[in-house]
Copies of this chain bind each other. A is one copy, B any other.
């Protein structure tokens, strides 16, 4: 398994744009250490739509140049210590967004259009700090009607964890459709799965309904409990104690290094 994950990690090259899912949607924590060992840095992370432990650890490991996100936190375990420190020190560039703007950018990529419009945002500093977004006057309105245009977000790679995959590379994402949205938008998609099943997930209409087809999946590897310490819906809950242990340790750079040298490698 470890060598499989290392093989997957080697697809990541310096400077790539990498899309990662929200805590509860299937974070491939199993890939975090292989990504760090692989060492490709200067990454642009896109959190879909928010980030947590994995993002914090990649930042702590020095692999991240820029984070585009609606939030980064450890949820019940508090703020994301390495993220917060890096932002305050100006060591990473932060592109603050709002959840539906991330979804909108991925949707634009999915549809092959340069932008999609989005309501809200006007008058916020989120918008004021995003020179890459535009405001136009809605061409369909009689009177003035400003509306924001969000440009397409085109990740080089999406990485996530799912409950199961089949031998053909179809992966079951259930109702976590944001994982499909990430894969549609991304050039490549790397998936870890709790288990590899022998049945064809597309052969049965019930499982097909929750399946992302192999057309979008570049590589799959088995990784039991691959979301830990995050939970995986229908499989296991979040290990909040583990998140808190990390949160406490990673308050300092040394604490982070010590934690990564022990707990994660174990």
Q: State the number of copies, please.
A: 2
Closest 7 CB pairs of A and B: A209-B210, A205-B234, A174-B209, A113-B117, A175-B209, A114-B140, A174-B205
Decide yes or no whether A119 CB sits under 8 A from chain B.
Answer: yes
The reply to whether A151 and B147 form a contact with Cβ atoms under 8 Å apart is no
Q: Which residues of B contact A107 (CB under 8 A)?
A: 107, 111
Q: What 0/1 readout, one digit per residue, does chain A (118-151) give for beta carbons within 8 Å of chain B?
A: 1100000000000000101011110001010101
Q: Which residues of B contact A149 (CB under 8 A)?
A: 139-140
A residues apposed to B, CB below 8 Å: 104, 107, 111-119, 134, 136, 138-141, 145, 147, 149, 151, 173-175, 205-211, 233-234
The reply to whether B116 and A116 form a contact with Cβ atoms under 8 Å apart is yes
The reply to whether A139 and B147 form a contact with Cβ atoms under 8 Å apart is no
Q: Which residues of B contact A207 (CB under 8 A)?
A: 206
Q: Which residues of B contact A141 (CB under 8 A)?
A: 114
